[in-house]
Amino acid sequence: MTESTLLTLSVAILLLPLLGFTILIFFSKRLPRQGDWLETGFLFVALAISFVILFTKLTSYHDHVVQATFGWVDFGNVPGFGPMRLDLGIMVDNVAAIMLVVVCIVSGLVHLFSIGYMHGDVRYGRYFAYLGIFTFSMVGIVITNNFFMMYVFWELVGLSSYLLIGHWFERKSASDAAKKAFIVNRVGDIGMFTGIMILFAAFHTFTFDTIFESIKSGNIPLGSEAWLTAAGILIFCGAIGKSAQFPLHVWLPDAMEGPTPVSALIHAATMVAAGVYLVTRTFAMMTADALMFIAYIGAITAFISATIAIAQNDIKKVLAYSTVSQLGYMVMGLGVGAYTAGFFHLTTHAMFKAGLFLGSGSVIHAMHHALHHANDHHTDPQDIRNMGGLKSKMPITFYTFLMYTLAISGVPLTSGFLSKDEILAGTLAYGSLTGHTIIPIVGFLVAGLTAFYMFRLVILTFFGGHKDPHRLEAVHESPKTMTIPLIVFAVLSFFAFYSFNPIGASSGWFYGAVERPESVVPAATAAAGIQEFEEALHHSHTPAMILSILIAASGILLAFVVYYWNKISADAVAGALKPVHQFLLNKWYFDELYQATAVRGTDALAAAYRWFDNNIIDGFVNGTARWTLGVTQGTKDAWEEGNIGAIFYMVVAGAVSLYAGWLTTMQLMPLDATLASMVINGLIGLGVAGLAFFLFYVGVGGFDNKIVDGLVNFVAYLAGFLGIVTRRIQTGKVQTYLAFVLLGVMVFFLWFR
Amino acid sequence: MELHVLGVGVLTWLTFLPIIGMVAVLVLPKNNPAAVKWTAAVATFLQLVLAAILFVMFNKSMAGINDAASMQFVERFKWIDIQSQSWFGRIQIEYFMGIDGLSGPMVLLTALISFIAVFASWNIEKALKGYMAMLLLLDTGMMGVFVSLDFFLFYVFWEVMLLPMYFLIGVWGGPRREYAAIKFFLYTLLGSVLMLLAMIALYFSVAITDPATGEKIHTFNMLAMMNPANFEPGSLLYGFGTYWRYLAYIALFIGFAIKVPIFPFHTWLPDAHVEAPTAISVILAGVLLKMGTYGLLRVSYPMFPEIATATAWYLALLAFINIVYGALCAMAQKDFKKLIAYSSISHMGIVLLGMAALNTQGMLGAVFQMFNHGTITAMLFLIVGVIYDRAHTRDLDAFGGLALTMPKYTGIMTVAFFAALGLPGLSGFISEAFAFLGAFQVDKLRIITIASTLGIVLTAAYMLWTLQRVFLGQPNEKWAKLPDINPVETFTLVPLAVIVLVLGIYPSFMLDMMTTSLNHLVDFVSRGGAAVAMIP
Q: Which residue did the predictor score with more confidence, B79 or B459?
A: B459
Predicted pLDDT of residue A751: 59
Predicted pLDDT of residue B88: 60
Min Cα distance A80 → chain B (Å) is 8
Backbone angles phi, psi at A137, to 5 degrees: -65, -40
Write out pLDDT tens, residues A235-244: 999 999 999 9
**B-chain residues within 8 Å CB-CB of A669?**
243
Q: Identify the closest residue of chain B to A740 by CA–CA distance.
A: B193
Predicted pLDDT of residue A736: 53
Contact A364, A379 (CB under 8 A): no
Residues whose CB is less than 8 angstroms from the CB of residue A738 and which lie 6 or more positions away in sequence, other chains included: none
**CA A530, A241, A221, B368: dihedral to nearest 10 degrees?**
140
Predicted pLDDT of residue A378: 83
Which of A563, A358, A581, A364 lies closest to A453 in space, CA to CA?
A563
Q: What is the rounded distance in angstroms from the CA atom of residue A635 to the CA atom of residue A709?
A: 11
**B-chain residues within 8 Å CB-CB of A673?**
241-243, 245-246
pLDDT > 90? residue A570: no
Q: What is the rounded distance in angstroms from the CA atom of residue B124 to the CA atom of residue B136?
A: 15
**A-chain residues within 8 Å CB-CB of B535?**
672
Predicted pLDDT of residue A647: 64
pLDDT > 70? residue A224: yes
- Across the interface, do B461 and A602 touch by the CB < 8 Å criterion? yes
Mutate: best of A130, A148, A603, A753, partner B, most B CBs <10 A: A753
- Across the interface, do B360 and A189 touch by the CB < 8 Å criterion? no
**A-chain residues within 8 Å CB-CB of B423?**
155-156, 159
- Across the interface, do B450 and A610 touch by the CB < 8 Å criterion? no
Predicted pLDDT of residue A743: 64
Write out pLDDT tens, residues A165-190: 999 998 999 999 999 999 999 999 99
Min Cα distance B383 → chain A (Å) is 20
pLDDT > 50? residue B193: yes
Predicted pLDDT of residue A707: 40
Amino acid identity, position A725: V
Write out pLDDT tens, residues A256-289: 989 999 999 988 889 999 999 999 999 999 999 9
Q: Which residue did the predictor score with more confidence, A653 or A372?
A: A372
Predicted pLDDT of residue A129: 93
Predicted pLDDT of residue B358: 92
Q: Which residue did the predictor score with more confidence, A440 or B477?
A: A440
**B-chain residues within 8 Å CB-CB of A670?**
243
> Which of A622-636, B212-226, B419-433, B443-457 bottoms out in mean pLDDT, i.e. has the lowest?
A622-636
pLDDT band at residue A742 under the 50/70/90 scheme: low
Q: Identify the closest residue of chain B to A167 by CA–CA distance.
A: B472
Of A155, A606, A745, Cβ closest to residue B328: A606
pLDDT band at residue A644 under the 50/70/90 scheme: low
Return the SS3 of B148: strand
pLDDT > 60? residue A477: yes
Min Cα distance B65 → chain A (Å) is 15
State percent of chain A over pLDDT 90: 46
pLDDT > 90? residue A294: yes
Q: What is the rounded distance in angstroms from the CA atom of residue B521 to the CA atom of residue B438?
A: 15
Predicted pLDDT of residue A706: 40
Min Cα distance B5 → chain A (Å) is 32
Length of chain A: 753
pLDDT > 60? residue B189: yes
Of B178, B440, B523, Cβ closest to residue A79: B523
pLDDT > 50? residue A682: yes
3-class secondary structure per residue, B236-249: CCCCCCCHHHHHHH
- Across the interface, do A678 and B159 touch by the CB < 8 Å criterion? no
B4: β partners? B9
- Across the interface, do A625 and B519 touch by the CB < 8 Å criterion? no
Mutate: best of A134, A595, A752, partner B, most B CBs <10 A: A752
- Across the interface, do B267 and A621 touch by the CB < 8 Å criterion? yes
pLDDT > 70? residue A320: yes
Cα angle A381, A386, A389; round to 5: 110
Of B332, B418, B437, Cβ closest to residue A610: B332
Is the pTM of the predicted complex or chain greater than 0.95? no
- Across the interface, do B360 and A183 touch by the CB < 8 Å criterion? no
Q: What is the mean pLDDT of chain B?
A: 89
**A-chain residues within 8 Å CB-CB of B193?**
744
**A-chain residues within 8 Å CB-CB of B201?**
748, 752
Min Cα distance B380 → chain A (Å) is 19
DSSP code of B221?
Answer: B
Predicted pLDDT of residue A497: 87
- Across the interface, do B473 and A169 touch by the CB < 8 Å criterion? yes
CB burial string A114-127: b at 16+ within 10 A, e below: bbbbbeebebbbbb
Predicted pLDDT of residue A716: 44
Cα angle A673, A676, A678; round to 5: 55
Instruction: Please compute the mean of the pLDDT values over residues A582-607 and round it to a whole number.
Output: 89
- Across the interface, do B440 and A606 touch by the CB < 8 Å criterion? no
- Across the interface, do A166 and B401 touch by the CB < 8 Å criterion? no
Of A76, A670, A726, Cβ closest to residue B519: A76
Predicted pLDDT of residue A709: 42
Which of A235, A242, A330 lies closest to A286 in space, CA to CA?
A235
Contact B79, B15 (CB under 8 A): no
Predicted pLDDT of residue A717: 43
Min Cα distance A277 → chain B (Å) is 20
**CA B225, B231, B237, B239: dihedral to nearest 10 degrees?**
120
Mutate: best of A613, A614, A629, A750, partner B, most B CBs <10 A: A613
Q: What is the C-alpha R_g of chain A?
A: 34
**B-chain residues within 8 Å CB-CB of A159?**
418, 423
DSSP code of A34?
Answer: G
Instruction: Please compute the mean of the pLDDT values over residues A106-121 and round it to a whole number.
Output: 90
Instruction: Please compute the mean of the pLDDT values over residues B248-266 and round it to a whole number.
Output: 91
**B-chain residues within 8 Å CB-CB of A81?**
360
Predicted pLDDT of residue B81: 78
Q: Identify the closest residue of chain A to B408 by CA–CA distance.
A: A26
Quick one: B535 exposed, middle or buried, by C-beta within 10 A (0-12, 13-18, 19+)?
A: exposed
A to B CB pairs, distance under 8 Å: 192
Write out pLDDT tens, residues B368-421: 999 999 999 999 999 999 999 888 888 888 888 888 888 899 999 999 999 999
pLDDT > 70? residue B213: yes
3-class secondary structure per residue, B91-133: EEEEEEEEECCCCHHHHHHHHHHHHHHHHHCCCCCCCHHHHHH
- Across the interface, do A749 and B200 touch by the CB < 8 Å criterion? yes
CB atoms within 10 A of CB A695: 13
- Across the interface, do B185 and A729 touch by the CB < 8 Å criterion? yes
Predicted pLDDT of residue A327: 94
Which of A124, A133, A106 lies closest to A47 in space, CA to CA?
A106
Of B159, B242, B506, Cβ closest to residue A671: B242
> Which of A399-408, A603-612, B220-229, B525-534 bottoms out in mean pLDDT, i.e. has the lowest?
B525-534
Direct distance between the N- and C-terminal alpha carbons of chain A, in angstroms, rounded to an integer: 79
**A-chain residues within 8 Å CB-CB of B525?**
none
Q: Identify the closest residue of chain A to B524 by CA–CA distance.
A: A79
pLDDT band at residue A120 under the 50/70/90 scheme: confident
Of B436, B437, B456, Cβ closest to residue A186: B456
DSSP code of B31?
Answer: T
> Which of A365-374, A556-565, A658-667, B161-170 bottoms out in mean pLDDT, i.e. has the lowest?
A658-667
**B-chain residues within 8 Å CB-CB of A603?**
331-332
Which of A445, A443, A403, A412 lies closest to A427 in space, CA to CA?
A443
Q: What is the rounded distance in angstroms from the CA atom of residue A716 to the CA atom of residue A634?
A: 12
Write out pLDDT tens, residues A48-82: 999 999 999 988 888 888 999 999 999 988 888 88
State percent of chain B over pLDDT 90: 60
Q: Which helix (H) or strand (E) holds A10?
A: helix A3-27
Q: Identify the closest residue of chain B to A200 by CA–CA distance.
A: B437
State percent of chain B over pLDDT 70: 97
Min Cα distance B46 → chain A (Å) is 31
